[in-house]
Each structure stands twice: as structure tokens, then as C-alpha cells.
């Protein structure tokens, strides 16, 4: 029997679901399946468009079984690496303004939550399934890239490789 060779990096993965991410469901599922096989310590959560005060584990039960984002930030220590998977396509207000969420009235802007997360976790990357040559034309994508210190990578084999290199630095 071969010894287990899964990566010992501890990782949190946040998947954007719904809306403009619907065309990327299959590739996101494939990434999730590969990540589960790769990482020994992996936790995942779903969000919609931008990180706010709640995330969830089961998209079908997102309204009934929400997890406060604060609970996630307090439960998983700072040595976890964070991967976001999403197209970063939304109204800029969803990032910059309290109440900007399209689903409910969020008390604090998404940028506040992204800043909290990056203050706790030193290694954070965003994998974007949209073609990289269009990123500069989408204001929300530019904002997310800026919030993450330009650590957005295309959801391609090369982009994933670069993102993993960034996480391991």
C-alpha cells in the first residue's frame, strides 16, 4: 500500500455560487474534487459575489444553515491558506457599500470583510474562471484584485500552478 501523499498545507476555499458563476459550475466542481484529493486539511464554504457576514456549506440550504463569517475567521488559525474561486463580476457597490449585496442588507461592505480576512491570513489567492484579458474591463474585478494585492489568477492549469506557488511562499 502506498503512503498517503496529500499536501499538508491547511487551506480554506471559498466558492462563489449563483448568477454569473452558473456557467462555471462544472469547472468549479472539478477543482473542488481535485482539491479534496490534494489537501489533507481543507475546509470549504460558499458565498455569493463577495464575502459578507455569512457563508454556508450547502448551497441548497444557504438560507437555513448560514455560518457567520466571524466564526470562520475565529475557528481557523492564521496559518491556513485561503483560495477564493469566483468570477468577481458584480456591481462595485457590492464591494464598497454597506447594503450593496443583491441578496440582503449587509451591514458592512464586502471590502471590509475582505480586509479582515487578509489581515488574518497572510496567503490569499483568487482563482477566476473568466478569461484574464477581460479582467481590466470589469470594475469589480479590478477592485477585488486591488483588495488582494493583485493575487488573482486565471482558473487554468498555469494559473492554478502560479496561485499554489504564491500560497507556498
> Which CATH number does the domain housing residue 58 bear?
3.40.50
Please say whether the beta carbons of 99 and 53 come within 8 A: no
Write the CA distances from 14 to 2, 4, 134, 167, integer angstroms: 31, 25, 22, 15
Q: Flag whether 2 is in a domain.
A: no
Mean pLDDT of 140-150: 97
Q: Flag whether 90 is in a domain.
A: yes
Q: Flag whether 1 is in a domain.
A: no
Write the CA distances from 23 to 35, 39, 59, 86, 129, integer angstroms: 20, 26, 16, 11, 10
* 60-103 pLDDT tens trace: 767 778 999 999 999 999 999 999 999 999 999 999 999 999 88
Amino acid at each position: 500500500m502506498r503512503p498517503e501523499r496529500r499536501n499538508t498545507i491547511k487551506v480554506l476555499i471559498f466558492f462563489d455560487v449563483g448568477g454569473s458563476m452558473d456557467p462555471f459550475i462544472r469547472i468549479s466542481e472539478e477543482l473542488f474534487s481535485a482539491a479534496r484529493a490534494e489537501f489533507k486539511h481543507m475546509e470549504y464554504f460558499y458565498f455569493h459575489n463577495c464575502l459578507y457576514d455569512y457563508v454556508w456549506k450547502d448551497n441548497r440550504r444557504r438560507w437555513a444553515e448560514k455560518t457567520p463569517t466571524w466564526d470562520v475567521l475565529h475557528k481557523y488559525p492564521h496559518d491556513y491558506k485561503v483560495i477564493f474561486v469566483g468570477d468577481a463580476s458584480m456591481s462595485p457597490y457590492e464591494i464598497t457599500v454597506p447594503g450593496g449585496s443583491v441578496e440582503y442588507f449587509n451591514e458592512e461592505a464586502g471590502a471590509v470583510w475582505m480586509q479582515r480576512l487578509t489581515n488574518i491570513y497572510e496567503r490569499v489567492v483568487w482563482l477566476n474562471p473568466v478569461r484574464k484579458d477581460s479582467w481590466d474591463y470589469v470594475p469589480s474585478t479590478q477592485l477585488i484584485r486591488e483588495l488582494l494585492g493583485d493575487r488573482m489568477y486565471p482558473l487554468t492549469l498555469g494559473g492554478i500552478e502560479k496561485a499554489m506557488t504564491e500560497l507556498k511562499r
